[in-house]
Chain A
Amino acid sequence: MSQVKEPKKRKMSLERRHNLTGWAFLTPATLMIAVMSFWPMIQAFILSLQTGKANNLKFGDPLANYVRMFRDNVFMASLGNTFLYLIIQVPIMLILALILASMLNNKDLRCKGLFRTAIFLPCATSLVSYAIIFRSLFGVDGFINTVLINLGILNTGYNFLGHATSAKIVIIIALVWRWTGYNMVFYLSGLQNIEYSVYEAAKIDGASPMQTFFKITVPLLKPTILLTAIMSTNGTLQLFDESLNLTKGGPANATITMSHYIYNMSFKYVPTFGYAAAMSFLIFILVAILAFVQMKVGDKRD
């Protein structure tokens, strides 16, 4: 590498050298992504143009799979469910995480370590146990129903996971519960890059906690908020675990997600990889559009 670089050195301006250093810094990571993500992606795309079952794939009408998904009731249901989760769950979760992070950033707070660890716990807890707990909490004779009956709100137990609307709500609650702490970690670490003296100055100037939050915390955390927004959008559109483990997509496909359906099409049902790949590419396009919008809105260097 140095052999290539050495003779040019004298002629190169400082700026150019920095530019090249930059490229050198990002090359290993970029190459790995190219090989581990883009190459398989291209193959998946080629696959998405083929129709047929198992290994009997053939090229026919290249758009057949893409047309097919819009006539597929289950897929359309999964598309609707996924977007519902996205629109409701992501904002709630991010706002909650932001509030909790700024609370925990308070220098005078005691037991910060304990609170932080406790709130982070849900995402470290294995999915197996959390799925069992959520299902039993919301079961017909589960804890939630017992409370509601004792409060006189309900007469008999309500099967939360057995009805379409309530099952969707349970999934949203479960997602918020599990991932808020995860997002909080990014905000907490982002907040550390803001000098604490800024907050003290604001306090002396008589700013209320609300004002501090909106005028200082949110604007300074913008890069991190953008990061978590893209990540959560991506995570939600690829949502799989909750649908599979909490509700198995039921009742009657009321909670199934796109990735869950793709998984079924690939591994549970007779394998239809061409179609599965085509559905994956729709997710890809959707995430890409949303991420692009978010970048346009949030990724400006001041």
Chain B
Amino acid sequence: MKRKILSALLCVAMTATMLAGCGNKADDSTNDANQETTDDAAGDDATAGDDAAEGDDAAAGDDAAAGGDKLTVWCWDPAFNIFSMEEAGKVYQADHPDFNVEVTETPWEDVQTKLTTAATSGDLSTLPDIILMQDNAFQKNVISYPDAFIDLTDSGIDFAQFGEAKTAYSVVEGKNYGVPFDNGAVIAAYRTDILEQAGMKIEDFTDITWDEYLEKGKTVLEKTGKPLLSCQAGESDVIMMMMQSCGASLFDDEGNPALVGNAALKKVMETYAALKEAGVLVEVNDWDQYISTMTTETVAGTINGCWIMASIKTAEDQSGKWAITNMPSLVGVDNATNYSNNGGSSWAITANCQNVELAKDFLKSTFAGSVELYENIISCGALATYLPAGDSDVYAKGDDFFGGDAVSAKIVEFAGKTPSNNTGVFYYEARDAVASAMQNIVGGASVDDELQLAQETIESQMQ
């Protein structure tokens, strides 16, 4: 027994020595790692300075001084929002020569994961100065982590110059937390050549109701064999677009889920099921297949946020065969319109920003104040929600792909007519539950039962 105790003691001693050894070793390699990172950046002094600042929170003040007029940004699409941010940097540089933006390409899901991780662990120092946030996630993130974002209400930005529905996404408890960026106004795009085969024109699909859409869709299907619309099974984009088109929400004003007894939602579900039943709408299983239904001409049209145009345009051989108009409206529902929104994002300043005044002024003079910027970025398909930009000549130019139509101006007009609705903090929970319900309804379940079940699921997840 004594020997056992002895060997146990020895073990402890050894462990201790090893721990000490390990500790030193870890320190050494840390320095190496830092060294390597710096080397990799090819002697980029700014990066090295930043590293040092990150290593020491107390040096926060120095960072602003050392970094000069630099802002760091996370966003995700090189051809689109990264391009726009860099253009904005150039616009601001004209008056502030020392200024520059440093954009790190970060997919939205990663922005979300990093944001949650940083906010939860209480170390916001890993966040950049500005992040681009999906509009649908705005309420959720600001309410979950109010300390992680800067209130922009009194920043001097005139939020009235943006579409009302768009601004509403980033308003939390009456305060503005985001500067609206890209437009998610819903368009209905149709293949005019296919409609023609069925004896119809784009005008026949303008300002119509879903009932008319269904009837016309049946004719198109019968004559050409092509459905009017495709969408992803298990995603509720179409449902959410229909909901917003009449200003309806999945939540009541207190933020409680309101699925049961929601007349608009019930109508939406029934409309969707009828479209699916008739074969006017086909479901595919993922985004890639959704895109391919358009590129391979298996559908005669689509309804989505206006950003879908960029994907449609990848099929260059279909140029001139597409036209856009507004979406159908719901029948028998209050406040029904032909306008809605899907997707889109806004800029937010994080609490880690060391130079809040600079960041505010930057956003104010660019995304919230420069028509020139929006003229520069229209080439990448970034359509403004900044209303003064819509009057620019650039927006009135025709697009040959869409038969010479001035689509940009049209979309800005749509955006101005879109009703706002209540996203809800628990938007993603509700969205998934509704998508599940829809799949069951398409499979034959009753609408009322499924909505009841979906409501219970959301309530349970809200705990």
State the A residues within 8 Å of B (CB): 1, 4-5, 8, 16, 19-20, 23-24, 27-28, 31, 51, 53-55, 68, 71-74, 132, 135-136, 138-141, 159, 161-162, 247-253, 264-273, 275
Contact = CB atoms under 8 A, between A and B. Distances in A.
A249 B120 CA distance: 26
B114 to A, nearest CB: 10
Contact of B234 (A51, A248, A265): A248
B442 to A, nearest CB: 9
B18 A28 contact: yes
B161 interface: no
B233 A162 contact: yes
Interface in B413-458: 425-426, 428-429, 432, 435-437, 439-440, 443, 453, 456-457
A270 B140 contact: yes
B52 interface: no
Contacts of B463: 51, 68, 272, 275
Interface string B253-291: 000000000000000000000000000001111101100
Interface in B134-187: 140, 143-145
A16 B3 contact: yes
B233 A269 contact: no
A218 B65 CA distance: 68
B24 interface: no
Given A73-B460, A135-B289, A251-B439, A270 B429 contact: yes
A275 B462 CA distance: 11
A135 B3 CA distance: 63
A252 B436 contact: yes
Contacts of B234: 247-252
A181 to B, nearest CB: 25
A20 B288 CA distance: 59
Interface of B: 3, 6-7, 10-11, 13-15, 17-19, 22, 109, 112-113, 116, 119-120, 122, 140, 143-145, 233-235, 282-286, 288-289, 298, 425-426, 428-429, 432, 435-437, 439-440, 443, 453, 456-457, 460-463
A248 B285 CA distance: 9
B144 A270 contact: yes
A259 to B, nearest CB: 15
Contacts of A139: 284-285, 289
A139 B437 CA distance: 22
A269 B7 contact: no
B116 A267 contact: yes
A72 B13 contact: no
A250 B289 contact: no
B120 A135 contact: no
A31 B11 CA distance: 12
B457 A74 contact: yes
Given A252-B435, A264-B428, A264-B432, 13 more contacts: A4-B17, A28-B18, A54-B144, A54-B145, A71-B460, A135-B288, A161-B233, A248-B235, A250-B439, A251-B436, A252-B436, A252-B437, A267-B116
